[in-house]
Amino acid sequence: KDDNNKESRGALVVLEGLDRSGKSSQCSRLVSYLEGQGLSAELWRFPDRTTNVGQMISAYLSNASQLDDHTIHLLFSANRWEKRSLMETKLKSGITLIVDRYSYSGVAFSSAKGLDIEWCKAPEIGLLAPDLVAYLDISPDKAAKRGGYGDERYEKLEFQKKVAEHYKVLHDASWKVVDACQTIEDVEKQLQEIVLSCVTECQKGKALSSLWS
Ligand code: T5A
Ligand code: NA
């Protein structure tokens, strides 16, 4: 065996959940926590609004532009594809990525509009599969009460209820459901535990895989 010198890889950790479930708050706390443990970690988010594709998505979400449902779905997917190789490079160099939303958002939100779920999953095939998906579980009613929804396209109670239903069919072996109605600190503690054990597993040589697996 000649892989003794190979640097151990980072973990691909995704946080998913409805709008206002607490993903962004927890993602930044997780990165600080991992860094405090002496680990390399970066915060990523999708959509990545900084790219050209991301700017089209951002305009759509803020209702500044209109797009066909299929078209915006493919743009969200393209926005992940344009980051795929950098993602792989970072993971292989030992950096853990804490990612705020990923392909599951892509499929849950578009299929909640009525698009066929297999059609929605297809463009995600071949993207890196997360080592862990932490789903921040909160009812749409409770989420709506947090700080109130803004003006973005999907921030409407009736639609969020449909999204919650569509997330349910996406749960697989990599998912851990976390009760997002606990205090921020309690959610944080629970996430630290499951993320740290995931990072350890990846350091021990767990192979990277691709969606959908
Ligand atoms: N989308 C996204 C698609 O349709 N397809 C795709 O492929 C992708 C990637 C993007 C939108 O695009 C859709 C999904 C979205 O509709 P976004 O920029 O990711 O949107 O924005 P949101 O996910 O909506 O982000 P939010 O900021 O609304 O929600 P977060 O990040 O889940 O929540 P957070 O941490 O900002 O917290 C929200 C509020 O709740 C409080 C916070 O202080 C804050 O005020 N809070 C708590 N309060 C009480 N108890 C707790 N435990 C709390 N945790 C947080
Ligand atoms: Na957010």
Domains contained in the chain, CATH given:
9-203 (3.40.50.300)
Atom of ligand 1 nearest to the CA of 152: 16
User: What amino acid is encoded at 108 in this protein?
Assistant: A
Ligand nearest to the CA of 75: 1
Rounded CA separation 50/95 (Å): 21
Q: Is this prediction's ipTM beyond 0.95?
A: yes
pLDDT digits (tens, 9 = 90+) for 106-141: 999 999 999 999 999 999 999 999 999 999 999 999
Does ligand 1 lie within 6 Å of residue 24's CB atom?
yes
For residue 44, say if its preceding peptide bond is cis, omega within 30 degrees of 0.
no
For residue 140, say if its preceding peptide bond is cis, omega within 30 degrees of 0.
no
pTM score: 0.96
Atom of ligand 1 nearest to the CA of 77: 7
| Average pLDDT of the chain to the nearest whole number | 95
C-alpha closest to that of 204 among 10, 13, 31, 41 = 10
pLDDT digits (tens, 9 = 90+) for 168-208: 999 999 999 999 999 999 999 999 999 999 999 999 999 99
